[in-house]
Amino acid sequence: MSLSDLTSLPGVTATPDIPTRRYVFNHTMIRVRDLTASLDFYTRVLGFTPVYQHIFEEAAFTIVYLVLVGDRSVIPDDDEARKRWVLGQPGVLELTHNHGTETLEKTPYHNGNTEPRGFGHLCVSVPDVGAACARFESLGVTFQKRLSEGCMSHIAFIRDPDDYWIEILQPTPLPAG
Amino acid sequence: MSLSDLTSLPGVTATPDIPTRRYVFNHTMIRVRDLTASLDFYTRVLGFTPVYQHIFEEAAFTIVYLVLVGDRSVIPDDDEARKRWVLGQPGVLELTHNHGTETLEKTPYHNGNTEPRGFGHLCVSVPDVGAACARFESLGVTFQKRLSEGCMSHIAFIRDPDDYWIEILQPTPLPAG
Protein backbone atom coordinates (compact mmCIF):
# COMPACT_ATOMS: atom_id res chain seq x y z
CA MET A 1 0.00 0.00 0.00
CA SER A 2 1.45 3.36 -1.03
CA LEU A 3 2.02 6.19 1.42
CA SER A 4 -0.74 8.22 -0.19
CA ASP A 5 -3.11 5.24 0.15
CA LEU A 6 -2.15 5.02 3.82
CA THR A 7 -2.73 8.70 4.45
CA SER A 8 -6.15 8.31 2.76
CA LEU A 9 -7.33 5.52 5.08
CA PRO A 10 -10.63 6.21 6.86
CA GLY A 11 -10.05 8.46 9.85
CA VAL A 12 -6.60 9.65 8.81
CA THR A 13 -5.86 13.37 8.77
CA ALA A 14 -3.83 13.61 5.57
CA THR A 15 -1.88 16.72 6.55
CA PRO A 16 -1.03 16.91 10.24
CA ASP A 17 -1.65 20.15 12.08
CA ILE A 18 1.48 22.35 12.10
CA PRO A 19 1.88 22.41 15.92
CA THR A 20 2.29 18.61 15.88
CA ARG A 21 5.43 18.82 13.75
CA ARG A 22 7.60 19.07 16.82
CA TYR A 23 5.75 16.44 18.84
CA VAL A 24 7.83 13.35 19.65
CA PHE A 25 6.54 9.90 20.62
CA ASN A 26 8.88 9.86 23.58
CA HIS A 27 8.27 6.87 25.81
CA THR A 28 6.29 3.83 26.87
CA MET A 29 5.83 3.16 30.58
CA ILE A 30 5.49 -0.28 32.15
CA ARG A 31 5.37 -1.20 35.83
CA VAL A 32 7.93 -3.72 37.03
CA ARG A 33 8.00 -5.86 40.19
CA ASP A 34 11.77 -5.91 40.79
CA LEU A 35 13.72 -2.96 39.43
CA THR A 36 17.09 -4.70 39.76
CA ALA A 37 15.85 -7.72 37.77
CA SER A 38 14.35 -5.49 35.08
CA LEU A 39 17.44 -3.30 34.82
CA ASP A 40 19.50 -6.49 34.46
CA PHE A 41 17.24 -7.77 31.69
CA TYR A 42 16.96 -4.55 29.70
CA THR A 43 20.68 -3.68 29.96
CA ARG A 44 22.30 -7.13 29.74
CA VAL A 45 19.96 -8.88 27.32
CA LEU A 46 18.81 -5.96 25.17
CA GLY A 47 21.57 -3.37 25.58
CA PHE A 48 19.55 -0.48 27.04
CA THR A 49 21.30 2.28 29.01
CA PRO A 50 19.61 3.93 32.02
CA VAL A 51 19.84 7.69 31.58
CA TYR A 52 17.57 9.12 34.27
CA GLN A 53 16.20 8.00 37.61
CA HIS A 54 13.77 9.76 39.91
CA ILE A 55 12.82 8.38 43.31
CA PHE A 56 9.45 9.64 44.59
CA GLU A 57 10.00 8.96 48.31
CA GLU A 58 6.61 10.09 49.55
CA ALA A 59 4.58 8.30 46.87
CA ALA A 60 6.95 5.29 47.22
CA PHE A 61 7.86 4.70 43.60
CA THR A 62 10.90 5.05 41.38
CA ILE A 63 11.04 5.70 37.66
CA VAL A 64 13.98 4.96 35.37
CA TYR A 65 14.23 6.04 31.74
CA LEU A 66 16.29 3.81 29.45
CA VAL A 67 17.43 4.31 25.88
CA LEU A 68 18.76 1.84 23.35
CA VAL A 69 21.60 3.62 21.57
CA GLY A 70 24.52 1.90 19.94
CA ASP A 71 26.83 4.80 20.61
CA ARG A 72 26.72 6.21 24.13
CA SER A 73 28.63 9.31 23.07
CA VAL A 74 25.27 10.74 21.92
CA ILE A 75 24.09 10.82 25.57
CA PRO A 76 24.80 14.18 27.23
CA ASP A 77 27.05 13.94 30.26
CA ASP A 78 25.60 16.90 32.13
CA ASP A 79 22.68 15.74 34.27
CA GLU A 80 20.24 18.54 33.40
CA ALA A 81 21.15 18.39 29.71
CA ARG A 82 20.69 14.63 29.73
CA LYS A 83 17.21 14.92 31.26
CA ARG A 84 16.14 17.42 28.59
CA TRP A 85 17.70 15.22 25.92
CA VAL A 86 15.93 12.02 26.94
CA LEU A 87 12.53 13.74 27.06
CA GLY A 88 13.00 14.81 23.45
CA GLN A 89 14.05 11.39 22.13
CA PRO A 90 11.81 8.82 20.48
CA GLY A 91 11.92 5.21 21.68
CA VAL A 92 12.51 5.64 25.41
CA LEU A 93 11.45 2.96 27.91
CA GLU A 94 10.18 4.06 31.31
CA LEU A 95 10.20 1.48 34.09
CA THR A 96 8.08 2.27 37.15
CA HIS A 97 8.84 0.43 40.36
CA ASN A 98 6.36 0.69 43.20
CA HIS A 99 8.47 0.22 46.32
CA GLY A 100 7.95 -3.11 48.04
CA THR A 101 6.70 -5.15 45.09
CA GLU A 102 10.16 -6.74 44.85
CA THR A 103 9.30 -8.77 47.95
CA LEU A 104 6.36 -10.44 46.17
CA GLU A 105 7.03 -13.94 44.93
CA LYS A 106 5.63 -13.28 41.49
CA THR A 107 4.87 -10.19 39.51
CA PRO A 108 1.63 -8.42 40.43
CA TYR A 109 1.53 -7.04 36.88
CA HIS A 110 -0.48 -8.14 33.89
CA ASN A 111 1.06 -8.24 30.43
CA GLY A 112 -2.14 -7.44 28.53
CA ASN A 113 -2.20 -10.62 26.45
CA THR A 114 -4.80 -12.53 28.46
CA GLU A 115 -8.11 -11.04 29.58
CA PRO A 116 -8.41 -8.19 30.14
CA ARG A 117 -6.32 -7.54 27.04
CA GLY A 118 -5.03 -4.16 25.89
CA PHE A 119 -1.33 -3.39 25.61
CA GLY A 120 0.33 -6.14 23.58
CA HIS A 121 4.09 -5.90 23.42
CA LEU A 122 7.26 -3.94 22.97
CA CYS A 123 9.43 -4.70 19.93
CA VAL A 124 13.18 -4.60 19.51
CA SER A 125 14.42 -4.83 15.96
CA VAL A 126 17.79 -6.45 15.35
CA PRO A 127 20.06 -6.77 12.33
CA ASP A 128 19.86 -10.60 12.34
CA VAL A 129 16.91 -12.21 14.10
CA GLY A 130 18.46 -15.71 13.94
CA ALA A 131 21.68 -14.54 15.58
CA ALA A 132 19.77 -12.53 18.18
CA CYS A 133 17.59 -15.51 19.11
CA ALA A 134 20.65 -17.77 19.39
CA ARG A 135 22.19 -15.17 21.70
CA PHE A 136 19.00 -15.03 23.82
CA GLU A 137 19.02 -18.85 24.08
CA SER A 138 22.63 -18.77 25.27
CA LEU A 139 21.65 -16.18 27.91
CA GLY A 140 18.79 -18.36 29.14
CA VAL A 141 16.10 -15.86 28.13
CA THR A 142 12.50 -17.08 28.31
CA PHE A 143 10.79 -17.30 24.94
CA GLN A 144 7.12 -16.76 24.37
CA LYS A 145 7.50 -17.87 20.75
CA ARG A 146 10.64 -19.15 19.08
CA LEU A 147 11.22 -18.53 15.38
CA SER A 148 10.43 -22.19 14.75
CA GLU A 149 7.10 -22.04 16.58
CA GLY A 150 3.77 -20.93 15.15
CA CYS A 151 3.18 -19.82 11.60
CA MET A 152 5.29 -16.65 11.57
CA SER A 153 8.84 -17.90 11.21
CA HIS A 154 10.38 -14.45 10.84
CA ILE A 155 9.50 -13.13 14.30
CA ALA A 156 10.11 -14.31 17.85
CA PHE A 157 8.78 -13.13 21.19
CA ILE A 158 10.80 -13.17 24.40
CA ARG A 159 9.51 -12.37 27.90
CA ASP A 160 10.93 -9.89 30.38
CA PRO A 161 11.03 -10.57 34.16
CA ASP A 162 7.37 -9.46 34.50
CA ASP A 163 6.32 -11.56 31.51
CA TYR A 164 5.80 -8.56 29.25
CA TRP A 165 6.25 -9.73 25.67
CA ILE A 166 9.04 -8.34 23.50
CA GLU A 167 8.83 -9.01 19.79
CA ILE A 168 12.15 -9.59 18.03
CA LEU A 169 12.36 -9.04 14.28
CA GLN A 170 14.72 -7.89 11.60
CA PRO A 171 13.76 -5.15 9.14
CA THR A 172 15.05 -7.06 6.12
CA PRO A 173 13.42 -10.21 4.72
CA LEU A 174 14.82 -13.54 5.90
CA PRO A 175 16.38 -15.82 3.31
CA ALA A 176 13.83 -18.37 2.07
CA GLY A 177 14.13 -21.43 4.34
CA MET B 1 22.48 11.35 39.26
CA SER B 2 25.44 11.11 36.88
CA LEU B 3 25.49 8.72 33.94
CA SER B 4 28.19 6.64 35.62
CA ASP B 5 26.06 6.43 38.77
CA LEU B 6 23.14 5.28 36.60
CA THR B 7 25.18 2.63 34.84
CA SER B 8 26.34 1.43 38.30
CA LEU B 9 22.80 0.90 39.64
CA PRO B 10 22.11 -2.62 40.95
CA GLY B 11 21.39 -4.98 38.08
CA VAL B 12 22.78 -2.74 35.34
CA THR B 13 25.28 -4.18 32.87
CA ALA B 14 27.70 -1.27 32.61
CA THR B 15 28.96 -2.11 29.13
CA PRO B 16 26.33 -3.56 26.83
CA ASP B 17 27.18 -6.64 24.81
CA ILE B 18 28.50 -5.71 21.35
CA PRO B 19 25.69 -7.47 19.39
CA THR B 20 23.14 -5.18 21.08
CA ARG B 21 24.72 -2.05 19.57
CA ARG B 22 22.51 -2.33 16.51
CA TYR B 23 19.35 -3.25 18.40
CA VAL B 24 16.56 -0.65 18.13
CA PHE B 25 13.58 -0.21 20.47
CA ASN B 26 11.25 -0.17 17.51
CA HIS B 27 7.63 -0.17 18.58
CA THR B 28 4.90 -0.46 21.18
CA MET B 29 1.73 -2.34 20.29
CA ILE B 30 -1.73 -1.60 21.67
CA ARG B 31 -5.07 -3.11 20.66
CA VAL B 32 -7.78 -0.70 19.58
CA ARG B 33 -11.55 -1.18 19.30
CA ASP B 34 -12.21 1.07 16.29
CA LEU B 35 -9.31 1.54 13.88
CA THR B 36 -10.89 4.55 12.17
CA ALA B 37 -11.39 6.33 15.50
CA SER B 38 -7.83 5.56 16.60
CA LEU B 39 -6.32 6.64 13.27
CA ASP B 40 -8.30 9.88 13.58
CA PHE B 41 -7.01 10.47 17.10
CA TYR B 42 -3.36 9.64 16.46
CA THR B 43 -3.14 11.54 13.16
CA ARG B 44 -5.38 14.56 13.85
CA VAL B 45 -4.65 15.16 17.53
CA LEU B 46 -1.05 13.98 17.77
CA GLY B 47 0.26 14.26 14.20
CA PHE B 48 1.23 10.62 13.57
CA THR B 49 1.54 9.31 9.99
CA PRO B 50 0.51 5.75 9.10
CA VAL B 51 3.35 4.16 7.14
CA TYR B 52 2.44 0.48 6.92
CA GLN B 53 -0.72 -1.60 7.09
CA HIS B 54 -1.12 -5.35 7.00
CA ILE B 55 -4.51 -7.05 6.97
CA PHE B 56 -4.44 -10.65 8.24
CA GLU B 57 -7.66 -11.86 6.62
CA GLU B 58 -7.65 -15.38 8.00
CA ALA B 59 -6.79 -14.40 11.57
CA ALA B 60 -9.18 -11.41 11.25
CA PHE B 61 -6.97 -8.61 12.43
CA THR B 62 -5.23 -5.59 10.94
CA ILE B 63 -2.05 -3.89 12.08
CA VAL B 64 -1.01 -0.34 11.28
CA TYR B 65 2.39 1.17 12.07
CA LEU B 66 2.49 4.90 12.68
CA VAL B 67 5.41 7.28 13.12
CA LEU B 68 5.55 10.80 14.50
CA VAL B 69 7.93 12.70 12.23
CA GLY B 70 7.83 16.42 11.66
CA ASP B 71 9.17 16.09 8.16
CA ARG B 72 7.52 13.45 5.98
CA SER B 73 10.29 13.65 3.41
CA VAL B 74 12.26 11.24 5.64
CA ILE B 75 9.67 8.51 4.91
CA PRO B 76 10.67 6.35 1.94
CA ASP B 77 8.16 6.41 -0.88
CA ASP B 78 8.85 2.91 -2.15
CA ASP B 79 6.63 0.42 -0.30
CA GLU B 80 9.27 -2.22 0.41
CA ALA B 81 11.86 0.40 1.38
CA ARG B 82 9.33 2.05 3.68
CA LYS B 83 8.56 -1.24 5.44
CA ARG B 84 12.27 -1.87 6.07
CA TRP B 85 12.70 1.72 7.18
CA VAL B 86 9.88 1.68 9.73
CA LEU B 87 11.10 -1.56 11.29
CA GLY B 88 14.47 0.07 11.93
CA GLN B 89 13.11 3.26 13.50
CA PRO B 90 12.71 3.98 17.21
CA GLY B 91 9.39 5.30 18.50
CA VAL B 92 6.89 3.53 16.25
CA LEU B 93 3.31 2.92 17.37
CA GLU B 94 1.58 -0.30 16.29
CA LEU B 95 -2.20 -0.37 16.43
CA THR B 96 -3.83 -3.80 16.29
CA HIS B 97 -7.48 -4.02 15.31
CA ASN B 98 -9.29 -7.30 15.80
CA HIS B 99 -12.00 -7.26 13.17
CA GLY B 100 -15.48 -6.75 14.55
CA THR B 101 -14.62 -4.98 17.79
CA GLU B 102 -15.67 -1.70 16.19
CA THR B 103 -19.30 -2.84 16.57
CA LEU B 104 -18.95 -3.00 20.36
CA GLU B 105 -20.42 -0.06 22.23
CA LYS B 106 -17.37 0.45 24.37
CA THR B 107 -13.80 -0.65 24.18
CA PRO B 108 -13.13 -4.23 25.24
CA TYR B 109 -9.57 -3.18 26.11
CA HIS B 110 -7.99 -2.40 29.45
CA ASN B 111 -5.58 0.49 29.83
CA GLY B 112 -3.50 -1.08 32.59
CA ASN B 113 -4.08 1.63 35.17
CA THR B 114 -6.71 -0.16 37.24
CA GLU B 115 -6.38 -3.76 38.42
CA PRO B 116 -4.86 -5.74 36.92
CA ARG B 117 -2.24 -3.06 36.36
CA GLY B 118 0.81 -3.36 34.13
CA PHE B 119 1.34 -1.14 31.12
CA GLY B 120 0.92 2.48 32.19
CA HIS B 121 1.01 4.96 29.36
CA LEU B 122 2.52 6.30 26.18
CA CYS B 123 4.13 9.75 26.26
CA VAL B 124 4.32 12.43 23.62
CA SER B 125 6.74 15.25 24.34
CA VAL B 126 5.93 18.66 22.96
CA PRO B 127 7.84 21.95 22.74
CA ASP B 128 5.27 23.81 24.88
CA VAL B 129 3.02 21.76 27.15
CA GLY B 130 0.72 24.72 27.89
CA ALA B 131 0.13 25.42 24.22
CA ALA B 132 -0.35 21.71 23.47
CA CYS B 133 -2.93 21.32 26.24
CA ALA B 134 -4.80 24.42 25.04
CA ARG B 135 -4.84 22.90 21.56
CA PHE B 136 -6.16 19.58 22.95
CA GLU B 137 -8.91 21.45 24.81
CA SER B 138 -9.92 23.21 21.60
CA LEU B 139 -10.07 19.82 19.85
CA GLY B 140 -12.31 18.40 22.57
CA VAL B 141 -9.76 15.81 23.69
CA THR B 142 -10.53 13.93 26.91
CA PHE B 143 -8.10 14.67 29.72
CA GLN B 144 -7.14 12.20 32.39
CA LYS B 145 -5.24 14.94 34.22
CA ARG B 146 -5.00 18.59 33.29
CA LEU B 147 -1.88 20.59 34.11
CA SER B 148 -3.84 22.30 36.88
CA GLU B 149 -4.93 19.02 38.48
CA GLY B 150 -2.96 16.95 40.98
CA CYS B 151 0.44 17.83 42.34
CA MET B 152 2.48 17.59 39.14
CA SER B 153 1.73 20.83 37.33
CA HIS B 154 4.25 20.24 34.54
CA ILE B 155 2.62 17.15 33.02
CA ALA B 156 -0.82 16.32 31.68
CA PHE B 157 -2.44 13.07 30.61
CA ILE B 158 -4.94 12.77 27.79
CA ARG B 159 -6.92 9.66 26.83
CA ASP B 160 -7.15 8.02 23.44
CA PRO B 161 -10.41 6.47 22.10
CA ASP B 162 -9.72 3.24 24.07
CA ASP B 163 -8.88 5.21 27.22
CA TYR B 164 -5.17 4.47 27.00
CA TRP B 165 -3.34 7.25 28.81
CA ILE B 166 -0.94 9.53 26.94
CA GLU B 167 1.37 11.68 29.01
CA ILE B 168 2.12 15.13 27.62
CA LEU B 169 5.25 16.92 28.78
CA GLN B 170 7.88 19.32 27.56
CA PRO B 171 11.58 18.54 27.89
CA THR B 172 12.47 21.96 29.24
CA PRO B 173 11.47 23.26 32.69
CA LEU B 174 8.30 25.33 32.90
CA PRO B 175 8.58 28.94 34.05
CA ALA B 176 7.90 29.17 37.78
CA GLY B 177 4.15 29.79 38.19
Cβ separation B16–A47 shorter than 8 A? yes
* Cα within 13 Å of Cα(B143), Cβ side: 18
pTM of the model: 0.97
Three-state DSSP string of A93-146 = EEEEEECCHHHCCCCCCECCCCCCCEEEEEEEECCCHHHHHHHHHHCCCCEEEC
CA B99 centroid distance within chain: 22
Identify which of B116, B127, B103, B112 has the alpha carbon closest to the alpha carbon of residue B159. B112
Burial A80-92 (b: 16+ CB within 10 A, else e): eebbebbbbbbbb
Q: Give ranges for CATH 3.10.180.10 in chain A.
A: 24-101, 114-177
Model ipTM? 0.97
pLDDT given for residue B173 in this prediction: 86
Using an 8 Å CB-CB cutoff, list chain A residues near B127: 22
Active site amino acids of B: 167
**Per DSSP, what are the bridge partners of residue B50?**
B66
Looking at chain B, which residue has its C-alpha nearest residue A10? B36
pLDDT tens digits, chain A, 177 residues: what are they? 899 999 999 999 999 999 999 999 999 999 999 999 999 999 999 999 999 999 999 999 999 999 999 899 999 999 999 999 999 999 999 999 999 999 999 999 999 999 999 999 999 999 999 999 999 999 999 999 999 999 899 999 999 999 999 999 999 988 765
Write the class of the CATH domain A114-177: alpha beta
Instruction: Considering only the beta carbons, identify the residue of A9, A20, A48 that sits closest to B39.
Output: A9
Sequence-ordered strand ranges (E) for chain B: 24-31, 49-56, 61-67, 92-98, 119-125, 143-145, 156-159, 165-169
DSSP-derived secondary structure letter, B18: G
CB atoms within 10 A of CB A101: 17
DSSP-derived secondary structure letter, B140: T
pLDDT digits (tens, 9 = 90+) for B96-148: 999 999 999 999 999 999 999 999 999 999 999 999 999 999 999 999 999 99
Q: Would you say B27 is a known binding-site residue?
A: no
DSSP-derived secondary structure letter, B95: E
Superfamily for the B24-101 domain:
2,3-Dihydroxybiphenyl 1,2-Dioxygenase, domain 1 (3.10.180.10)
- Exactly one of A58, A102, A149, A167 is catalytic; which is it? A167
Cβ separation B40–A12 shorter than 8 A? yes
Instruction: Give the integer Cα–Cα distance in Å for B27 and B29.
Output: 7
